[in-house]
Amino acid sequence: MLSYRHAFHAGNFADVLKHAVLTRIVVALKKKATPFCYLDTHAGSARYDLNAAQARKTNEFKTGIARLWSRADAPELLNEYLACVRAANPDGALNYYPGSPRIVRELLRENDRMVLMELHTTEYPLLKEAFARDRQVAVHHMDGYEGLSAWLPPKEKRGVVLIDPSYEARDEFTRVVGALQLAYERWNTGVLCVWYPVLQRSKVRQLESAVKASGMRDVLLAEIEVLPDDSPQGMHGCGMLIARPPYKLDEDLSKLLPWLRDALVQGEPAGWRVERLVGE
């Protein structure tokens, strides 16, 4: 049974990193005129109320998106991401945080398309309602891992997959590598993304080793830490694995992540890294 509710964590530093990277990928895809498809395996509910009890219980957004909301010195590489967040808050106050589907939807052109999957019985109806009259968006109540087999490859040759589970299951790190490899084999022209938490460094090392041993090529890693690696405070960092990243994404992220780390750090200095985990 799924118990994770993203409403408790919406807009936190992990969302900021994930969505900052995701928007850079979508912006890169839009440089070509041909349409693309976005597939989200764990889509959530599309929008989160930051004044609701769940968000206020943890206040994680205050050390995430709230730190960027009023910054006048944000780099241009964040322009599209911050514009998507502002679009969810037309009155100018930070009251809502858009999930990945809403952020990508803001960036789609009229010929682009989204396929969203969500298994949680509470999140799915909210997601379905959010895009009920949107012909560019298909919403499916299903396990996202199974959805990769069902929906890949899409009719579009280009696009991006986001694999972003809750990591509730003990074998989740193993499952995401399997899902990434399946997507890699099914869709040989897609950009493939996995978000992961940094809770125990040993788990991340195992993830990296599994990707290196998988036979996949051209895999980029982008990670920030907002707390030291030995911090006892739960998730102290997060990262994205990107297979077949767009041209020069590594250069963009090498400029962006130091700024994000400095903006989001909590207390003692922490780290960031962008590296080619597996070469082309």
The pLDDT tens digits of the residues spanning 94-121 come to 999 999 999 999 999 999 999 999 999 9
- Look at the alpha carbons of 130, 133, 134, 139 in this order and tell me if their dihedral is positive or negative: positive
Please tell me the predicted confidence (pLDDT) of residue 251: 98
- Residues annotated as catalytic (active site), given as ranges: 164
pLDDT per residue over 184-233, tens digit each? 999 999 999 999 999 988 999 999 999 999 999 999 999 999 987 766 67
Residue with tokens 């125990």: 200
pLDDT (0 to 100) of residue 16: 97
Structure tokens at 274: 């962008």
Mean pLDDT of 19-47: 96
pLDDT surpasses 70 at 64: yes
pLDDT band at 1; cut points 50, 70, 90: very low
Cα–Cα distance, 97 to 158 (Å, whole number): 27
Cα–Cα distance for residue pair 47/103, rounded to 1 Å: 9
Residue 149 clears pLDDT 80, i.e. is over it:
yes
State in Å, rounded, how far the first CA of the chain is from the last one: 39
Q: What is the mean pLDDT of the chain?
A: 93
Question: Residue 186 phi/psi, 5° resolution?
Answer: -75, -35
pLDDT score for 10: 82
Query: What SS3 state is found at 5?
Result: coil
pLDDT of residue 55: 72
pLDDT band at 178 (very low <50, low <70, confident <90, very high): very high
Return the pLDDT at 5.
Answer: 58
Give me the DSSP letters along 143-168.
-HHHHHHHH-S-SSSEEEEEE-----
Mean pLDDT of 233-238: 86
